Amino acid sequence: MSTTSSTALPAGGLKSPGPGLLTLDPVHTALLHGLDALLTGLAARLAAPEVVGPPLLSVEGLARLDYFRNFPHLGVSAGRFTPEALDGLAAGEDPAELPLRPTGHLLPSATCYGLLLSLEGTDVGEDGLRLSATGRCFRNETHYDGLRRLWGFHMREVLYLGTKQGAVEHLENGSEFVRGLAALLGLELTRATADDPFYDRGGSRARLMALDPVKHEFSAPDGTAIASVNRHRNFFGERLDIRAGDAGPAYSACVAFGVERWVHAMILAHGTPEQALAHLRSARP
């Protein structure tokens, strides 16, 4: 019986298709999948079932969540070629010069938006609801930098909706999980209040954040934020009419992980992708 060995990559490896765009080689891919498998440990600990969010988000839904007021710079719109452009495409004209028509949808910039919009008008009860998902997210950035800042990346989130106290406990559990996983993987992380663009620095929301921070990030020694804990208060509950039984509009909170950034942090800590993968495979939760 013959066996087939793994094929070798071309000399020089896999090339970047462009700024902010990477094709991960087998070692980096194994790191990404292995890390995401460990990150699901928080979902297992909190009994959060795994779901898959939608690949597109309606601009109408995002507008109701103040997305464009708060993040006007991040959105990546989904467009389709106009009927008038189809003949040009078929004739071999430059697609970049042919007109696009907006679809009324954006690519997700965070995993939780699709999950929240899917729960509009529901009652999650006072016991609350938890969901876990990894989504491909896209952000229009001013610049791109290796695995640290990409056009498209994977974001693992564990989302909670329920009572105010439940949201607090969710983030406490999430913070404890991040610290424990970092220790297991040999990562030194620092926690700090995030300078989140959701808050206008000159407005009332900035003053509120200074008194009562709602987002903290865990960062690698080079300053790369690889995880965050986010308390939304009852903002989404009110905007989307999501209730927590007699407790009223649901409070929500999420713990988010940028998976490619965890890959970056592992390589930063352990020297090479191969050494990082060896350390990951030897780690036991």
pLDDT of residue 242: 97
* Band of residue 1 on the pLDDT scale cut at 50, 70, 90: low
- For residue 257, what are the β-bridge partners? 156, 227
Asked if residue 199 has pLDDT above 60, the reply is: no
Instruction: Tell me phi and psi for residue 157, to 5 degrees.
Output: -130, 145
Asked if residue 205 has pLDDT above 90, the reply is: no
Alpha-carbon gap, residue 255 to 132, rounded angstroms: 10
Query: Nearest to residue 153, comparing CAs of 48, 79, 49, 262?
Result: 262
| Residue range 254-259: mean pLDDT, rounded | 96
Burial readout 207-246 (b: 16 or more C-beta within 10 A, e: otherwise): eebeeeebbbbbbbeeebbbbbbbbbbbbbbebbebbbee
Provide the CB-side half-sphere exposure for 1 (13 A, CA).
0
Instruction: Extract the tokens encoding 227.
Output: 């995880």
- Which residues 6+ apart lie within 8 Å of 31 measured at CB? 263, 266, 267, 273, 276, 277, 280
pLDDT of residue 5: 63
- For residue 133, what are the β-bridge partners? 157
- Give the predicted TM-score (pTM) of the model: 0.89
- Which residues 6+ apart lie within 8 Å of 104 measured at CB? 58, 59, 60
- Which residues 6+ apart lie within 8 Å of 222 measured at CB? 268
The count of other CB atoms within 10 Å of the CB of residue 119 is 20
